[in-house]
Chains A and B, each alone.
Chain A
Amino acid sequence: MLDLKPDFGSFFKDETFTGDFTFANSPQSVRRFPFPFDRDDYMYSVNIEPHVSTRPGSVFEHAFDIDEHYVSEMRDRARVLARDPLRCQSLPHMELAGWDLLELLMESLARDYPQWFTLTRSGNDWHWVNKPLGIDQRFTFLDASSLPYGPMEYITRQVQGDFTLQDERDQNLWVDAGMVTTQADWSLDFDIGMNFFEWHAPVPLAHEKGIFERALKFLLRLQHGAPVRRFNWTMTVNPLLDTAPETYPEWGAMRTTVTPQNVGEKLHLRVELQSLFRLPRSNAIAFSIRAYLGRFDDLVTVPKWGRRLHRVVRDVHPDLAAYKGFLRNRDAMTDWLSHHDDGAPTSPGIWPD
């Protein structure tokens, strides 16, 4: 077992994503929120760009963003896994890709956050220290018996965001492993072993636009050392990280609790910063799906975001609103947001003015 001895220090917040929902973004965290809309309307596109370090302090500064919610998110992941171990699965041929992912994550975190993580290596003898979670582990790289879990599960219990590992064969990608506990209503247990077209089958409108053929073609050419990223988004009532089909009975009904009075407090824009990395040894592709929750009350403190969010929610195609789970609350959301839109033009790009 991975025995967490969390140290929140002065930076990490002690908060919950279920029950009493004490999750909240600090003012600094609101300012760095990855607002996903670069214009006043939204439709699918293959919005992929190189995943390079930009804007110090932003979520784009490091390959994997560690923020004030880190320790509490890892505690929430452990809670979800204890109830449902099938949220983490790896088919037998994916262990090497798991080691690739472990190496990528440990190297990145130790390089980008030396105050919290250290990695010391002598050949295949590795020593990993994770101070915020109180972990000090010596192990043998490529020897799964030297870790308390398989390599993918071991490291993804220590990194924010969901991860899937795609095997490449027959000119397609196959989702053959993953750690999925902070998902927007999709199930790893259902999708595991599917290919790129199969697991994207439920997405409306995009198939007709040929988006998945183009995206797959692009991803099959993804090169090591040149990761890419894109945004996805949806809406979540209450700050729930775990909105899985498996727990739908627990959270689905929360969508009916929205009233004109509590929209600002209950509604959260859920943004996924998705990044894709070609892995070196396995030739697999790692997909990182990092979810950020932004309370409407907080988002409208940035005037540009308030105006734009209103226009996007008001005008988005109803099929997309239904797929993203907010069709039933769209009118209440639009009405509430309209009070934060004075009709002024907005500047291009996603950043606050």
Chain B
Amino acid sequence: MNAKLQVRVTEVEALNPLIKRFRFVPRDGGLLPAFSGGAHVVVEMEDHGTRRMNPYSLSSDPEDRTGYEVTVRRDDAGRGGSLYMHNHVAVGTEMVISHPVNLFPLDGRAKKHLFLAGGIGITPFKAMIHQLGHIGAKWELHYASRNPGLCAYGDLLRGPVQFYYDDDKSFIPLKDLLARQPLGTHVYCCGPKGMLAWVRATAAELGLAEHAVHFEEFTAPQPGAPFDVDLVRSGRRIHVPAHQSLLEAMEAAGVDAPYLCRGGACGQCECDVVTLDGQIDHRDHWLAPTDHKTKIMPCVSRFAGRALAIDR
């Protein structure tokens, strides 16, 4: 795979009971590459014998090349990546991260950027707002969270920002908001699944051009029942435990598998299915339904049944 960035954690801050901010600086004291708002890095973790590689959006200023920041929400029901970050990563921890990759970029042609954030979905927008500030572009943020106590960075966001709190029964007035945007506005949404679906449906109903509405789609892999897979090219059978993805199980077995987003959005890790006797649980945003019998995205999707063999 590609060159990695060797970093050290210099700051860990609990923004609220669920969310922590981590700052990484290069171990060699040099500068990190600048990045683009919306980019993520893949953070590698050695979690007591299990290798985890989780993508996190960068939330810091893209022009600050002295360090990168990620903001992580603890997911007690997840597979353990966020728990590892929260419980084991401290100031001084040495870590390895990927170069930034952007699967949720700004469209430079936009006359105005309209951001819709739900909860931890604020993270890419924080970096985007920094970046747009440098080039003087127009933006507006609508940020929904459960209550002011869980509204990460709420106190730091300045400018055209509107807050909404579930506990107060205040919600983004989506239809009105989208309907009154000036021509040339691009809409960006990052938040829970339900919010993405709501924005997608509302934008379509209002006739917004598809190319002007952008979604941060990749989601953390979720656990599921364990299963076995035959890797045809490598000539071996591997076991995928409940809290590991198929991609991680392949990597743990030393099988080379390309990846970028590790969240079912980019298509890089796509595998051809050779034999299928059972049901693939497709959890990605990449494959078309017509591909569901012939392909699988090992980063997020799982399998239940008698036999699955893939070309890897």
Quick one: CB contact mask for A272-309 with B, threshold 8 Å, 1 for yes? 00000000111100000000000000000000000000
Pair A223/B260 contact, Cβ less than 8 Å: yes
Pair B266/A283 contact, Cβ less than 8 Å: no
Given A281-B34, A281-B62, A281-B131, the answer on whether A221 and B108 have CB atoms closer than 8 Å is no
Pair A224/B211 contact, Cβ less than 8 Å: no
The smallest C-beta distance from A28 to any residue of chain B, in angstroms, reads: 32
Report 26 cross-chain contacts, Cβ distance below 8 Å, ordered by A residue: A93-B109, A94-B108, A96-B108, A96-B135, A103-B34, A142-B63, A142-B135, A167-B108, A169-B211, A170-B211, A221-B266, A221-B268, A223-B2, A223-B99, A223-B101, A223-B260, A224-B33, A226-B99, A280-B33, A280-B34, A280-B35, A280-B100, A281-B35, A281-B62, A281-B63, A282-B108
Pair B3/A283 contact, Cβ less than 8 Å: no
Cβ of A168 within 8 Å of any chain B Cβ, yes or no, is yes
Given A226-B3, A226-B99, the answer on whether A281 and B36 have CB atoms closer than 8 Å is yes
Name the A residues within 8 Å of B3 (CB-CB): 225-226
Q: Which residues of B contact A (CB under 8 A)?
A: 2-3, 33-36, 38-39, 62-63, 98-102, 105, 107-109, 131, 134-135, 211, 260, 266-268
Name the A residues within 8 Å of B211 (CB-CB): 169-170
Closest to B38 in A: A283
Name the B residues within 8 Å of A225 (CB-CB): 2-3, 33, 99
Given A93-B108, A224-B100, the answer on whether A283 and B135 have CB atoms closer than 8 Å is no
Contact of A142 among B2, B99, B100, B134 (CB under 8 A): B134
Q: Whole-angstrom distance between the alpha carbons of A336 and B108 in the complex? A: 53
The smallest C-beta distance from A222 to any residue of chain B, in angstroms, reads: 10
Q: Whole-angstrom distance between the alpha carbons of A280 and B39 in the complex? A: 9
The smallest C-beta distance from A121 to any residue of chain B, in angstroms, reads: 10
Q: Whole-angstrom distance between the alpha carbons of A168 and B260 in the complex? A: 16
Name the B residues within 8 Å of A226 (CB-CB): 2-3, 99
Closest to A226 in B: B2
Contact of A283 among B2, B63, B98, B105 (CB under 8 A): B105
Pair B260/A221 contact, Cβ less than 8 Å: yes
Name the A residues within 8 Å of B107 (CB-CB): 169
Query: Which chain A residues in 216-234 approach chain B with CB under 8 Å?
Result: 217, 221, 223-226
Q: Whole-angstrom distance between the alpha carbons of A142 and B134 in the complex? A: 8
Q: Beyond A223-B99, A280-B35: 6 further Cβ-contacts under 8 Å? A: A93-B108, A94-B108, A96-B108, A142-B134, A223-B2, A223-B98
Q: Whole-angstrom distance between the alpha carbons of A224 and B32 in the complex? A: 12
Interface size class of A (residues with CB under 8 A): 20 to 34
Pair B105/A168 contact, Cβ less than 8 Å: yes
Name the B residues within 8 Å of A224 (CB-CB): 33, 35, 99-101
Q: Which residues of A contact B (CB under 8 A)?
A: 93-96, 100, 103, 142, 167-170, 217, 221, 223-226, 280-283
Closest to A100 in B: B34
Name the A residues within 8 Å of B267 (CB-CB): 217, 221
Top 6 closest pairs, chain A to chain B, by CB: A93-B108, A225-B99, A226-B2, A283-B36, A280-B34, A283-B105
Closest to A103 in B: B34
The smallest C-beta distance from B96 to any residue of chain A, in angstroms, reads: 14
Name the B residues within 8 Å of A142 (CB-CB): 63, 134-135
Pair A283/B33 contact, Cβ less than 8 Å: no
Name the A residues within 8 Å of B63 (CB-CB): 142, 281
Pair B134/A283 contact, Cβ less than 8 Å: no
Q: Whole-angstrom distance between the alpha carbons of A281 and B36 in the complex? A: 4
Name the A residues within 8 Å of B33 (CB-CB): 224-225, 280
Closest to B2 in A: A226
Closest to B210 in A: A170
Name the A residues within 8 Å of B62 (CB-CB): 280-281
Closest to B186 in A: A169
Contact of B36 among A94, A169, A280 (CB under 8 A): A280
Name the A residues within 8 Å of B99 (CB-CB): 223-226
The smallest C-beta distance from A178 to any residue of chain B, in angstroms, reads: 16
Name the B residues within 8 Å of A223 (CB-CB): 2, 98-99, 101, 260
Q: Whole-angstrom distance between the alpha carbons of A224 and B2 in the complex? A: 9
The smallest C-beta distance from A325 to any residue of chain B, in angstroms, reads: 36
Q: Whole-angstrom distance between the alpha carbons of A103 and B38 in the complex? A: 21
The smallest C-beta distance from B224 to any residue of chain A, in angstroms, reads: 27
Q: Whole-angstrom distance between the alpha carbons of A71 and B135 in the complex? A: 34
Name the A residues within 8 Å of B34 (CB-CB): 100, 103, 280-281
Closest to B108 in A: A93
Counting chain B CB atoms within 10 Å of each CB, the highest count among A93, A103, A142, A223 belongs to: A223
Q: Whole-angstrom distance between the alpha carbons of A224 and B39 in the complex? A: 11
The smallest C-beta distance from B203 to any residue of chain A, in angstroms, reads: 16
Counting chain B CB atoms within 10 Å of each CB, the highest count among A168, A169, A170, A217 belongs to: A169
Name the A residues within 8 Å of B266 (CB-CB): 221
Q: Whole-angstrom distance between the alpha carbons of A100 and B102 in the complex? A: 15
Q: Whole-angstrom distance between the alpha carbons of A95 and B108 in the complex? A: 9
Name the B residues within 8 Å of A282 (CB-CB): 36, 108
Q: Whole-angstrom distance between the alpha carbons of A221 and B101 in the complex? A: 9
Q: Whole-angstrom distance between the alpha carbons of A193 and B177 in the complex? A: 31
Q: Whole-angstrom distance between the alpha carbons of A224 and B34 in the complex? A: 10
Closest to A121 in B: B31
Q: Whole-angstrom distance between the alpha carbons of A103 and B31 in the complex? A: 13
